[in-house]
Amino acid sequence: MFNLIQFFTFQRQVVLFFACLALTVLLWMTVGFAWAWIPLLFVIVLGTKHLLIGTVNGAAMKMQMGDADGAGKLLKYTIKPSWLQFGYHGMYYFMKSTIAMQKGDVKKAETLTNHVLTMKIADDFKGMAYLQLININAMHLQRDPKNQIFINKIKELHLKTKKLRITTPQVKEQLDQVDLMLKGEHESQKKMASPGKGGMKAMMQQGFMKRSPGKRK
């Protein structure tokens, strides 16, 4: 199934759309609507699919293959993100946030992730977004280790995840790691000379916080 999705790329869908459109016009002019409705159906389905889903699936596959630049270029072909349905609206902005993170634009990534959390999305997706923000605040803490604001923000974000019903094992595992770290009970922290709050800062400075699953898309 995945191979079929990979084969049915956005570029091939565009070719199929215009081929069916041309065939619709040709058949309509020569034999009438009796045969023209078949390619017309493909035109309608492909056009509707693009408006409601956009290029999110294709971009996600490129992210999984490590092609963030390709994913970013593909997302530009989404006509109007606000028209996206079935959770794809949130996925669109989350991937934009992930791409911004990979390019080092932390401020843009933070803004986009916060925007994702204003949308109606599943709890697992919210968990990924909160993990993204936790990672961003860990990066801020790395630049300013003495700033208690970032530690408090991480605690606040983690507390919000407690109210979610997370079912994705990978997301649950990463949230559990954050929980242990905040309690000063992570195995790596126990090996450090300064456990507790100081240990937490040091762990973050060493890049302990894992990236959310969406970043590998």
Two structure tokens written together for 150? 């970032």
pLDDT of residue 68: 86
The model's pLDDT over 112-129, given as tens digits with 9 standing for 90+, comes to 999 999 988 889 989 999
Residues in the chain where the model's pLDDT stays below 70: 1-8, 184-217
95 neighbors 56 (Cβ within 8 angstroms): yes
The model's pLDDT over 58-79, given as tens digits with 9 standing for 90+, comes to 888 888 888 888 888 989 989 8
Q: What is the mean pLDDT of the chain?
A: 79
pLDDT of residue 6: 52
What domain range is 130 assigned to?
122-217
Domain membership flag for residue 207? yes
Helices vs. strands in the chain: H and E counts, helices first: 12, 0
Domain membership flag for residue 72? no
Domain membership flag for residue 187? yes
Instruction: Give me the number of domains the chain comprises.
Output: 1
Q: For residues 140 and 143, give the distance between their C-alpha atoms in angstroms, rounded to a whole number.
A: 5
Domain membership flag for residue 86? no
Domain membership flag for residue 198? yes
Q: For residues 67 and 46, give the distance between their C-alpha atoms in angstroms, rounded to a whole number.
A: 25
Q: Report pTM.
A: 0.72
102 neighbors 68 (Cβ within 8 angstroms): yes
pLDDT of residue 187: 64
Q: For residues 216 and 66, give the distance between their C-alpha atoms in angstroms, rounded to a whole number.
A: 7
Domain membership flag for residue 167? yes
190 neighbors 166 (Cβ within 8 angstroms): no
